Chains A and B, each alone.
Chain A
Amino acid sequence: MLNYTIRRLIISIPVLLLISLIIFLLLNLAPGDPLANQPLTIPPEVRQKMKEALGLGAPLYVRYLLWLKQFFWVEPLHAFDWCFGTHFSVGMQRILSWQFRSPVFDVIVQRMPQTLTVVGMSYVIGVLIAVPIGIVSAYRQYSWFDQIGTFISMIGYSVPTFFTGVLLIVVFSVDLGWFPSIYNTNLKVVDWQTFLLQVRQMAMPVFVLALYNAAQISRFMRSSMLDNLQQDYVRTARAKGMGERTVLLTHVLRNSLIPVVTVIALGVPTIFGGAIITEQVFKVNGLGQLLITAIYASDVPMVQTLTFIFAVLIVVFNLVADILYGVLDPRIRYD
């Protein structure tokens, strides 16, 4: 397993380099101007100077190599310095955002908490809801519970979050006034009261996303359970005289969870990617909103770095999913 992991990691290096090059070329060849959102009143010669100050004067390959150096050398060094109080990266140019003129990673680190709490929480809640729903739906296939579960999944899956989000805001913020419509990223949970505030402001975005996640995962869970319920070993377990609970939870569930766990693992990078639309709707201003505003502002270093981090996460979690599969399913061997 260790050899397999190392081999996979080594293979992923050229893959990631290629991805970074493709992202870089796509971003730089796409039309768009980082200064397009600056007022027209700025004279062209000033505009030109501003562009040069952003580093746009250098040729394409120089900019790519610089970015590679910054991403793989300067930023890790800086992180090391930050952790251990050393000074290796002093004087080195970090990746700077064109919008903020500040290091891209500082902003990413700043955005992490709200994305992880809101999107992460919705993922956890979505999974926690989805697994039992999937189990019951499969066990009582075509029952009322299953039919309602299927209907809700269909809604959760097909109704876009910008619709459910705005609907919730209109009902619960505008009409009822229960929850705030705008997320306060500066809220620090220090006591019971701020905790309640945090719960209230998380309620709607988490609900919207959890519904979506649960819809997806519960369908996986259901079909995986159905697959396993029809297996002979389930009949064996019943024939052994095992209780229905044991049959379902020990035999069927544990086997059904194998594909579901890998699907869940594959979904983890999307947490980091943030939920662009939901974050916008509820003004959570996490990584998703960071990415979309960066795209609007043609902030190439920010978009490049974020998308590359997502690529890394996707590659890593694909590996994690494969390894999990090997751990969970004794039939899989990676030697």
Chain B
Amino acid sequence: MKLKTILMGAAAVLAASQAFAASGRGADGQLNLIYWQAPSILNPYLSSGTKDLEASSITIEPLARFNPKGEMVPEIAAEIPTLKNGGISKDLKTITWHLKPGLKWSDGSAVTSADVVFTGQYCMDPQGGCAQLSHFQGVDKIEAVDPLTVKISFKAPQPDPYGPFVSYESPILQKKQFANCMGAKAPTCTSANFGPIGTGPFVVTSFKPNDVIEYKANPNYRDPNKPAFATVNFKGGGDAAAAARAVFQTGEYDYGWNLQLSPDVLKGMTGPGAKGHVVTAFGSLVERLEMNLTDASPSLPEGQRSTAAHPNPILSDKRVREALSMAIDRSLIVQVGYGSAGKPTCNLVPAPEAYASDNTACLKQDIPGAKKLLDEAGWKVGPDGIREKDGKKLVLTYQTSTNGVRQDTQSLIKQWWKEIGVDAQLKNVNGSVFFGGDPGSPDTFQKFYTDVEEYANNFSGTDPQTYMSMYTCDKAPRPATQWQGENINRYCNKHYDELVAELGKTAVPAKREALVKEMNDMLTKDSYTIIPIVWRGNNSGVANSIGGEAINPWDSELWNIQDWYRKK
């Protein structure tokens, strides 16, 4: 009786939300999506490439995901567990999820807590090479309390227990389909990896890796009136310009993802008469300059270069780092290289809003101020216009990955630095080497064999805790760790380490937010260890005939594809 009431209630809510949409499931025919980086696999646990995650997100769903504001919304779960509603235990060591009752897989079988438990085991299998293992960090065990209840226990108090099964990176797999694909056998389950059974609005009908995916509306989707589209054609391949052309100019496609194009190209395509428009999602991706606090000089023996044993002779002085930041005109860089897909920023954590510090001082370029600071630091302008101190020239090496926009940024910055008497020696490294992490290569961003380097990074999900804890002393890449570690700058501050520890114990949102802001400021405006430049967004193109689309930086851009419809 009780179950029936809940069901009816749920149905009523769903019906209400349906009010604005088209007239029922499949009424709007085919939806055409183009992802120029073509999906390779539809199992997010075997690949965390965004293209693969996006393509799988319309088929398989997590317990809860993020909406465009960064707030959690339940998908398979009935509601979000919190401290308040008792879903999270007082000791922060367990979280209990309740599934929506009556939910069915696309093959018609019931979704139960066993599927959730299985998914956890699948990813945590030591031989599986699970790409989303970080979502399950600290998990002690996952148990099914009853068919609709899952309890996750952590080894230590977990102030942010929304790692497992939240967001499109960690969706629920069907136990029946993947039961024989555990561990080392994971890659042998090709048909499952290419067509996972899910609860999402669409079902895979055919998958051609790196080419095209076809979906049809899930007959067992929980809202009987959704999705509005009967089929989805998910095409991959080509390049960003071609995808933009197909959306804006020929109108062959309704949605084009990740249109990383130079601002003028994009402008040219979206002029009057264009068949679509650009939407931009600003997540947490920040293009930044990392200052190497250690000495990267090639004269040092291998193994000591860029290690804490030798502080950087120039950049150890905070005034120099600050001057370098002041000399940069961030809005010009945005204008030249990013257009609508970038905003100038001074923050390492620019979003979600609650975590963003009000740090805006760097936005205004201040060449005289920078010069003054360098003068104060004892760097005097030499005869060739380059500053010197104690016979040492103010020359910095500056590397980044090979990429047109980055090289433009490099030359702009080199020019500004020259104005203040700093000489930058530029270098660029092929992306697959730079980000490849090969401990044998001298050119990886972890080894950081230069004074300054530029790249972009972000955090997954909406919680910056892991992101902030990258900058503790023990995470500095060094020979002892095979040059692995995320503390690229070799920043080491005891107070910072304490704040990280504190954040790990704090669950109250307001307090967490304050901590993150403080840490953000320590790394940026207080120490200029990290000099953020551009808050980068992701451009996508949407046909003017598509309604209901809401771009989302925190989850799949297709997160609400069930609500999309074709305007009549």
Contacts and interface: CB of A to CB of B under 8 A. Distances in A.
A100 B433 contact: no
Interface in A154-190: 169, 173-174, 177, 180-182, 184-186
B210 A42 contact: no
A320 interface: no
A36 B436 CA distance: 5
B207 to A, nearest CB: 10
A285 B237 CA distance: 7
Interface string A284-296: 0100011001000
A236 interface: no
Given A53-B127, A177-B250, A283 B208 contact: no
A130 to B, nearest CB: 29
Interface in B213-267: 214, 233, 235-239, 242, 245-246, 249-250, 252-253
B41 A99 contact: yes
A52 B129 contact: yes
A50 B458 CA distance: 21
Contacts of A298: 432
Contacts of B130: 46, 49-50
B407 interface: no
Contacts of A51: 129
Interface in B119-157: 126-131, 133-134, 137
Contact of B211 (A40, A53, A185): A185
A33 B485 CA distance: 17
B209 A38 contact: no
A33 B457 contact: no
Interface size class of B (residues with CB under 8 A): 35 or more
A100 B265 CA distance: 33
B252 A180 contact: yes
B134 A43 contact: yes
Given A41-B460, A43-B134, A182-B253, A99 B194 contact: no
B46 interface: yes
B484 interface: yes
A32 interface: yes
Contact of B190 (A41, A103, A181): A103
Contact of B237 (A39, A169, A280): A280
Contacts, number: 171
A53 B40 CA distance: 17
Contact of B459 (A31, A41, A297): A41
A182 B459 CA distance: 34
Interface in B170-218: 184, 186-188, 190, 193-194, 206, 208-212, 214
A329 interface: no
Contacts of A293: 38, 210, 237
B252 A102 contact: no
B441 interface: yes
Interface of A is mostly: loop
A46 B133 contact: yes
Contact of A100 (B41, B186, B436, B458): B41
A44 interface: yes
Contacts of A97: 40, 209
Nearest to B208: A110
B34 interface: yes
- Interface centre among A97, A107, A181, A297, by most chain B C-beta atoms within 10 angstroms, is A181
Contacts of A221: none
B129 A33 contact: no
Contact of A38 (B49, B242, B249): B49
A173 B41 contact: no
Interface string A304-333: 000000000000000000000000000000
A31 B34 CA distance: 30
Given A46-B134, A49-B129, A174-B250, A33 B432 contact: yes
B216 to A, nearest CB: 13
Contacts of B190: 100-103, 106
A63 interface: no
Interface of B: 34, 38, 40-41, 43, 46-50, 126-131, 133-134, 137, 184, 186-188, 190, 193-194, 206, 208-212, 214, 233, 235-239, 242, 245-246, 249-250, 252-253, 430-433, 435-438, 441, 457-460, 466, 484-486
18 contacts: A31-B436, A36-B435, A38-B49, A40-B457, A42-B131, A49-B129, A49-B130, A96-B187, A100-B194, A101-B193, A174-B245, A181-B242, A184-B235, A186-B208, A186-B233, A280-B239, A281-B242, A293-B210
Interface of A: 31-33, 35-44, 46-47, 49-54, 93, 96-97, 99-103, 106-107, 110-111, 169, 173-174, 177, 180-182, 184-186, 280-281, 283, 285, 289-290, 293, 297-298
